[in-house]
Amino acid sequence: MSESPISRFFPPDLADVPSDVRERIAAVEEKSGFVPNVFLALARRPDEFRAFFAYHDALMERPGSLSKAEREMIVVATSGLNQCHYCVVAHGAILRIRAKDPLVADQIAINYRRADIAPRQRAMLDFALKVAARSYEIGDADYEELKSHGFSADDAWDIAAIAALFAMSNRLANALESRLDIANKAAIAATSHASSSEKPWRFRSS
Amino acid sequence: MSESPISRFFPPDLADVPSDVRERIAAVEEKSGFVPNVFLALARRPDEFRAFFAYHDALMERPGSLSKAEREMIVVATSGLNQCHYCVVAHGAILRIRAKDPLVADQIAINYRRADIAPRQRAMLDFALKVAARSYEIGDADYEELKSHGFSADDAWDIAAIAALFAMSNRLANALESRLDIANKAAIAATSHASSSEKPWRFRSS
Amino acid sequence: MSESPISRFFPPDLADVPSDVRERIAAVEEKSGFVPNVFLALARRPDEFRAFFAYHDALMERPGSLSKAEREMIVVATSGLNQCHYCVVAHGAILRIRAKDPLVADQIAINYRRADIAPRQRAMLDFALKVAARSYEIGDADYEELKSHGFSADDAWDIAAIAALFAMSNRLANALESRLDIANKAAIAATSHASSSEKPWRFRSS
Amino acid sequence: MSESPISRFFPPDLADVPSDVRERIAAVEEKSGFVPNVFLALARRPDEFRAFFAYHDALMERPGSLSKAEREMIVVATSGLNQCHYCVVAHGAILRIRAKDPLVADQIAINYRRADIAPRQRAMLDFALKVAARSYEIGDADYEELKSHGFSADDAWDIAAIAALFAMSNRLANALESRLDIANKAAIAATSHASSSEKPWRFRSS
Amino acid sequence: MSESPISRFFPPDLADVPSDVRERIAAVEEKSGFVPNVFLALARRPDEFRAFFAYHDALMERPGSLSKAEREMIVVATSGLNQCHYCVVAHGAILRIRAKDPLVADQIAINYRRADIAPRQRAMLDFALKVAARSYEIGDADYEELKSHGFSADDAWDIAAIAALFAMSNRLANALESRLDIANKAAIAATSHASSSEKPWRFRSS
Amino acid sequence: MSESPISRFFPPDLADVPSDVRERIAAVEEKSGFVPNVFLALARRPDEFRAFFAYHDALMERPGSLSKAEREMIVVATSGLNQCHYCVVAHGAILRIRAKDPLVADQIAINYRRADIAPRQRAMLDFALKVAARSYEIGDADYEELKSHGFSADDAWDIAAIAALFAMSNRLANALESRLDIANKAAIAATSHASSSEKPWRFRSS
């Protein structure tokens, strides 16, 4: 597909990839306008590709009281903790769209405790980050705290499972040294072009 | 299935579980003589059940230069780091069988640096534990070290991906507060019965 | 100036602020199109305002072999380590402009080890982050490493002193709970408007 | 005594060891059926041998409200924290016997917070592990918590002193690189022989 | 001034130093009887010298409810945390004088939680050390705790800003490898001369 | 002996203490001019008293290539790491006497890496502090490093065992909340009297 490396591992020739994997890649390209590197990287291993995205979809698109934006908040906070640059940028972009808020992704990636989010969302991220960093200390008090914010048992499962899924995903992307998606590069470049004008921050008068 | 809790979450009634999930549970029971709690816990969520075991099988049963025992070594070392009691006991039992070595599992769970393993296996665990603990620092030197022990690029992927998969699995088991499998309890009890006799350690004269 | 809080502390009435401080604030507003919150926050204490910016300018605008972009790289990396959201956003914006690179700031904030920077810059950040995190371990080997990349003694001082200055600045902004600058909010919002269109990432065909 | 090393240091020739030390070694062999490596290792230094076991006995066999099993719980939890493989296996075996519970030792070694123990025992281990990991933070609240579970001042001393004694013992065993006792190897091997049969976990039907 | 190095960097020839800097150095020498190394080290860079001492004086000599001794307590505790030997000795000496207490400096440097200080001072140091170690976690509860001990908003600013200033100063002194001041060496030597007599601790009968 | 508490635990009435313990206390008082609190605290438990000092003497007064001053260096460095205020002050005083150096104790307590000690002593402390902080990582390279500085196997044992003994002693003193010895208070007060004169640091002209 391209000569530029997507990670420490070269992507497979898409012609050699099983058709169901190729179709999923085509679908994401149709929807997003580009193929995220994680799809190309995992295509090297079709069974892992299928399992990963099956798990991802089961958790991220599951009906429930957590909104899709809130699910992405967990992903971004976890990715910040694990210092996964690829994940923060890719899921930060999704969070900005789903939360309809341009600010919240950076806030959550750097320090979710200072993000402009609801107390319920703060409690959700406290639980998620404890799962991410010290899951062996999770106990009654943590579940009680979630309950006091109106979360159900299945919400608690969702939060824990998303934090756990990205404990995996962050480590895999870091270990494979995934590179930033070209499209994200283009998006940031487009933004930056505007902001590198002579008086880059004069927005009030515009 | 049982009144005793398997984790913070009650298991589903198996009659309500999709048939493919039920069949997989029956197969593991046929093979092992019991149903491990992780199967019962995940059966609450069939899509996650399917994805988890698909991912697990893709990595743990994949042909390659890593033996099945070596794959379990990674699991046990990672589970020790993450203080996942369920995972250490369940996978320690598998490792003892696969390695045909009664000692190595405990050694690896507590401190893999002192385990009686080959230098190549020590290098494998150094890489795996770095992925588990500080994946953001993985770099050229880590891959070079693996290569110097004869590992291929795909071996490196396997090691990283197994460590990452159990970063997820350990956190999920901890957060759901999975309880020890009854069968493992029985196995340990059987052992202990012998060893709690009056002179429990007198093995030399036997 | 505004009813919206800039931090846990209310900003002073600018009419009550000494004229030299007010003039510096006017100058930054003229240049940037807005008044960054850090100027408003510190204006509450004119002596600290003067000392802080005097120190800042002495280090960040000092002639020397470190470029202005490189100095900002140190700031952004340190601010990421210290989880200072205000600092990452404000200095990330400056770095994007000075480095003429839209990507490098996020890379450095999340994990500088994976950023697309020169080996010399990587060595610079290794030293800076060691000063930030474990200054008591700095020794001969660290200075030798800098020297091997062509840095002079005064470059080493610059790197250490910038990392140290933002050890202070990050902690102060965090402790005062500085809020994101309005202008940065506007800039991010402008970007986001584009990217929340129906096919947000379709840049290739544009 | 044997060609196989017991640790990084060779054991002394028992013929050269003072008679009181030799008698103590004979006594433990008579009782246990083997000589634990820690006795052989310390016999190299008779004064340290005498002082260590005098301290050990003073704390572990002292009358008081803590049962002998509870004292071993502290040892196993501390040894897990300090990643002392020798200590976890040796004292885990003693704990299994004293607690008449085959399961509790592994639970406590990996994550005592999840062990099936009484709330009073959980409080005891919370205190012990705080002494082991952050003794400089011990204060009024910690003693109050112990008191609320019915512990006396001398119980608190016992808990702290046992955790402290094994802070020493774990470090010494780790630094000397103590090897697993042959007898423990035999015990585990005996168990493993049974469990490596074709259907290793089929215990329900037996 | 001397051939002996004051740090990794040689001090400038005072004749080459701007007169205002030289006058400040003369003033401290007049008052203290010696020139602390930090003055000599920073004289290499007059702009940084001026800014540093301006910031220092603005915070350490500011009128307010915190006494000068209390301000030094923050400095010593922070310097202990950051393992800055130069700072602990230099500011420990000042604290002993200001607190009119020969003991408190060592107590605070090693473990402020055990120091013989008032509850209000303990709360002050809890806040300061949290700013020093985990400023990203500062929040409502920390400010409420300060308030409950009678601290005002500006006191909180003072505590945070002093902890932040020495986050900088400790790192700079460590990175530049500042050496102990000759005068402090002399002071300690004078003391030691007495205490190295034959029965060094016989004070009761004197 | 005194109404003032020596720790969280009251000291026993010396009349009730076994005569051998009382004689040891009298001997240290005769030699030092006071009774250190650690003797009074442990006298509450004669068996532990005897074992502790037997172990202490076996290691600290053992003939060997490590000087007594070097043995105390290990104690002070370990006590600094473990934030044991009582231990740093008590053993810092001994170290100053044994090293005939008034400066080295503070240097080692705060950051031994910057202390004015020989390379061989730096290597000794590197090993000791690794035993104190991460004994589970000790391995071949650590022993090789010691050997390259001329240390024998028994020297390595001494270093490890002293670090381990004070891992215990520091934790016990911290947990029992040992208070500073009166005599040390007097010693520091005597020093401080001189140094709190009007121009406390004017030593050059004296």
**ipTM for the assembly:** 0.90
What number is the average pLDDT over the span B144-173? Answer: 97
CB contacts < 8 A (A, C): 145
Q: Are D123 and D145 in contact (CB under 8 A)?
A: yes
Closest F-chain CA to D85: F136
Task: Give per-residue pLDDT as tens, C147-158.
Answer: 999 999 999 999
Per-residue pLDDT at E202 exceeds 60: no
CB B152 within 8 A of CB B124: no
Quick check: D133 contacting A, CB < 8 Å?
no
Q: Work out the average pLDDT over A184-204.
A: 43
Whether the predicted pLDDT of A192 surpasses 90: no
Closest C-alpha to F113, from E8, C135, D175: C135
The confidence score (pLDDT) of residue B179 equals 86
pTM: 0.90
Residue of F nearest to B111 (CA): F136
Whole-number pLDDT of residue A201: 32
Question: What per-residue confidence (pLDDT) applies to E10?
Answer: 87
Quote the CA–CA distance of A186 and A192 in Å, as a whole number.
10
- E16 pLDDT tier (thresholds 50, 70, 90): very high
The arithmetic mean of pLDDT across residues A61-79, rounded, is 97
Comparison of pLDDT for A202 and D95, the residue scoring more: D95
The residue of chain E nearest to residue A111, with distances taken between CA atoms, is E136
Lowest-confidence region among E81-90, F25-34, F189-198: F189-198
- Which candidate from D96, D190, D203 shows the least CB-CB separation from B203? D190
Q: Per-residue pLDDT averaged across A81-97, rounded?
A: 95
Q: What pLDDT score does C32 carry?
A: 85
Q: Does C136 touch chain F (CB under 8 A)?
A: yes
| CA nearest to D130, candidates D114, D119, D116, D141 | D141
Residue ranges, chain C, pLDDT below 70: 1-5, 182-206
Neighboring chains of F (3 or more beta-carbon pairs < 8 A): B, C, D, E
Give the pLDDT confidence score for residue B204 in this predicted structure. Answer: 26
Longest CA pairwise span in chain E (Å) = 56
What mean pLDDT do residues E159-165 have? Answer: 98
A20 inside 8 A of chain D by CB: no
- Name the residue among F23, C147, C196, C151 with its Cα closest to residue A191: C196
Q: Which of B113, B117, B125, B129 to mutate to test the interface with F (most CBs of F within 10 A)?
A: B113
State the Cα–Cα distance between residues D181 and D39, nearest whole angstrom.
11
Highest mean pLDDT among A188-202, D124-138, E102-116: D124-138
What pLDDT score does D155 carry? 97
Chains touching chain A through at least 3 C-beta pairs below 8 angstroms are: B, C, D, E
Q: Is A139 on the interface with D (CB under 8 A)?
A: yes
Q: Which residues of E touch F186 (CB under 8 A)?
A: 203-204
Q: What's the gap in Å between the CA of F60 and the closest CA on chain E?
A: 19
Alpha helices in chain C (DSSP H): 19-32, 37-42, 46-60, 68-81, 85-98, 104-111, 119-134, 140-148, 153-176, 182-195
Instruction: Tell the residue number behind the tokens 């006191």, with chain if given.
Output: E155
Would you call D137 an interface residue with chain E, using a CB distance cutoff of 8 Å? yes
Closest Cα partner for F201 from E42, E197, E190? E190
Going residue by residue through chain D, which has 206 residues, state the pLDDT in tens, using 9 for 90 and above: 333 468 889 889 989 999 999 999 999 999 888 899 999 999 999 999 999 999 999 999 999 999 999 999 999 999 999 999 999 999 999 999 999 988 899 999 999 999 999 999 999 999 999 999 999 999 999 999 999 999 999 999 999 999 999 999 999 999 999 888 866 666 555 554 333 333 333 222 22
Contact flag E111-D139 (C-beta cutoff 8 Å): no
Q: How confident is the model at residue B196 (pLDDT cuts 50, 70, 90)?
A: very low
Taking CB atoms and an 8 Å cutoff, what residues of chain B touch C114? 136
Q: What is the pLDDT of residue A160?
A: 98
**Contact: E157, C176; criterion CB under 8 Å:** yes
With contact defined as beta carbons under 8 Å apart, do F59 and D48 qualify? Answer: yes
State how far residue B183 is from chain D, nearest Cα, in angstroms.
Answer: 6
F4 pLDDT above the threshold of 50? no
Given this model, what pLDDT does residue C187 score? 59
Residues whose CB falls within 8 Å of the CB of residue F198, separated by 6 or more in sequence, listed in order: none
Instruction: Using pLDDT thresholds of 50, 70 and 90, give the confidence band for residue B146.
Output: very high
Q: What is the pLDDT of residue B4?
A: 40
Q: What is the pLDDT of residue E183?
A: 65
Residues 146 through 185 of chain F touching chain D, CB cutoff 8 Å: 153, 157, 160-161, 163-165, 167-172, 174-177
Residue of B136, B138, B140, B142 for testing the chain C interface, max C β-carbons within 10 Å: B136
Name the percent of chain B lying above pLDDT 90: 76
Rounded to the nearest angstrom, the minimum Cα separation between C146 and chain B is 19
Tokens of B102: 């009664």
Burial class (CB in 10 A: 0-12, 13-18, 19+), D23: exposed
CA atoms within 13 A on the CB side of D71: 21
Give the minimum alpha-carbon distance from D111 to chain A in angstroms, rounded to a whole number: 7
